[in-house]
Amino acid sequence: MRTGVAIDLGTSGFRAQKIDLETGEIKKTVITLRNPLPGANVMDHLDFAIHYGLDKAHGLSATAVKNILAELGVKLAEMEKFSICGNPIQLSIFQGIPIDDLAYAGERKKQKYHIEEQNRDARIVPLAEIEGFEEATNCKLFVPPSIKHEVGADALALIVKAGMIESNEIAIATDYGTNAEMALKANGIIYTGSAAAGPALEGQEIECGSIASPHTICDVEFEGNNLRCYVLDRDMNTIKGDLVNPKTGEVVEKGEITAKGITGTGVIALIETAMRNKLIVLPKIQTPDGIIHLQDGVIFTNKDLIAAGRAIGALRAGHITLCAAAGIDMEELQIAHMSGAAGTYMDAAKAHKVGMIPYNASYVSQIGNTSLIVAREILLSEDRLWELQAIAKEIVGTHVMFATSEAFKEAYLLELAYWNEGMAFKMLQKFLKKKKLPMIGEPSSILKIDRQVERDIPELGEEGLEVLEKVGTYLTMVIEDCEGCHKCVKVCPNGALRMDDKGTVKIRTDLCDGANCQRCLHACPDDRFKWENLTVAGV
């Protein structure tokens, strides 16, 4: 069999497929539960690469990809084609392309530090040119283009698969992931942006959170005073789980499947359902212990509610900002497209009620993992790659940088006040009007939901889905004259760090919270624990 591999290098995890190049058939799918770089969001990954070396970041990304290839049963020497898709940071790190131009939004900063914009157009190069893949002597690497800055090939995939190029209707498309790429089409112009919502929408930075994978809670609904959990099975289908008392965790009725965590979609469903039933009255959970109890010990806390609220608020602020840039009112947004794992498994009606879909929308389509679909398309057709390049060039002039947008800043501050401080919705509306920003009305009662796929990855292949729970990437170093107090090990919240008697530290990077944590660094009493001394290690 002539073999190719398509991979979505996602911020929350990698998703890859082995493909028969002669027939175009998918043979096997492998996903990871975390990105191999320390941290749960793209800013953590950017920080790691900038402060500790692009070579280290690339080494971790490359090692993870090689471990995925092994799980797919693909040998480097035998692979003919390899295609990647994702945001510019992930694609650049994998290719070893400098990312300084992605780290700074302001042009003055770039001039001050003499930072040059990197070329991120579509390209085809020998995979063997990428460090770590020298054995792939007969393989070509296919890379789709970025639109601009933090809006990359994954956003382009979203625009194309949502049909926004051909349609002249006012519509918005959103990838409900860590970076929350979004695109608005109005008056024949496509406006793009990225809200950097954070990992809560992918089930991370949530105490019992997980990306969509087998045995995770993806939806909940009240039955009387109790909560019914719905859980993903081995094939990522939704199965009825336990019926539990949300205040105590007591199982009222046993379901058909066990759970080990909750997805971002489960979190959104829980928030909407709990708000509707007054179990949540913003900004607090209204239970005796401030916790909502789900099945098998899975819980949702006030801290989780804050994290999720920030993510939801970032999305709505992004939608408001794009409408402001296009000069249209929010009420003109009648069509919305949802992509990504969260966008697929999310109950669109519940997402609509909490404001993740514009309130005036009357039609919502859920279109799946567009990034992986496009990676597969360019693997099978070089013409498709150059088509995407032409499209990217057409829309490059209408990118909205949220980091420097006054509209986004004002809208997001109001969202934080609403979600985290308990500001009334009518007060939110009042301040939007005062700031002359597009207004948010009440949720539309008429909503047609077109769920085009049942799973974010519709086709898994005849060999099925494999979840690579351990990405197999580590950072290591020897701490000279270490006193062996092991304080660095004890403070690690995720159990990512190990140390032997000789002072050799080993960090499992997919579990490490990176720049958002670094407790190990601060716990060392003699300041001997230095991240700059870490090197990429094998298993």
- The mean pLDDT of the chain is 92
Rounded to 5°, angle at Cα 392 from 391 and 397: 115
Number of other residues whose CB lies within 10 A of the CB of residue 279 = 20
Residue-wise pLDDT tens digits, 55-68: 999 999 999 999 99
CA distance 70 to 63: 11
The terminus-to-terminus CA distance of the chain in angstroms comes to: 30
* pLDDT score for 225: 95
pLDDT at 504 over 70: yes
* pLDDT (mean) for 70-93: 96
pLDDT at 323 over 80: yes
* pLDDT score for 392: 86
Cβ-based neighbours of 461, under 8 Å, separated by 6 or more: 17, 18, 25, 26, 27, 28, 29
Task: Specify the CATH number of the domain 474-536.
Answer: 3.30.70.20
Cβ-based neighbours of 387, under 8 Å, separated by 6 or more: none
| Cross-strand partners of 524 | none
pLDDT at 106 over 80: no
* pLDDT (mean) for 185-208: 84
Task: Specify the CATH number of the domain 3-147+460-468.
Answer: 3.30.420.480
CA distance 339 to 345: 10
CA distance 56 to 500: 22
Q: At what angle do helices 153-161 and 382-394 cross, to 10 degrees?
A: 90
pLDDT at 76 over 60: yes
Residue 40 pLDDT level (bands cut at 50, 70, 90): confident
**464 torsion bin: left (phi>0), alpha (psi -120 to 50), beta (else):** left
Residue 454 pLDDT level (bands cut at 50, 70, 90): confident
pLDDT at 84 over 90: yes
Residue-wise pLDDT tens digits, 240-262: 999 999 999 999 999 999 999 99
* pLDDT score for 397: 60
* pLDDT score for 211: 76
Q: Are 38 and 509 in contact (CB under 8 A)?
A: yes
Tell me the range of 148-152, 172-176, 205-209, 291-295 where mean pLDDT is highest: 291-295
* pLDDT (mean) for 137-141: 97
Indicate if 474-536 has the same CATH topology as 3-147+460-468. no
Higher pLDDT pick, 112 / 539: 112
Give the closest residue to 82 by CA, choosing from 144, 32, 31.
144
Q: Are 373 and 156 in contact (CB under 8 A)?
A: no
Count of CA atoms in the C-beta half-sphere (13 A) of 121: 8
Residue 26 pLDDT level (bands cut at 50, 70, 90): very high
Residue-wise pLDDT tens digits, 178-191: 888 899 999 989 99
Residue-wise pLDDT tens digits, 353-403: 999 999 999 999 999 889 999 999 999 999 999 999 998 888 766 888 898
Domain boundaries, the chain: 3-147+460-468, 209-297, 474-536
* pLDDT (mean) for 314-343: 94
Residue-wise pLDDT tens digits, 421-452: 999 999 999 999 999 999 999 888 888 999 99
Residue 236 pLDDT level (bands cut at 50, 70, 90): confident
* pLDDT score for 92: 96
* pLDDT score for 177: 81
* pLDDT score for 77: 95
Please report, to the nearest 10 degrees, the dihedral formed by the alpha carbons of residues 340, 346, 349, 352 taken in order: -60
Q: Helix, strand or coil for residue 285? A: strand
Residue-wise pLDDT tens digits, 459-477: 999 999 999 999 999 999 9
Residue 105 pLDDT level (bands cut at 50, 70, 90): low
Residue 306 pLDDT level (bands cut at 50, 70, 90): very high
Residue 151 pLDDT level (bands cut at 50, 70, 90): low
Residue 538 pLDDT level (bands cut at 50, 70, 90): low
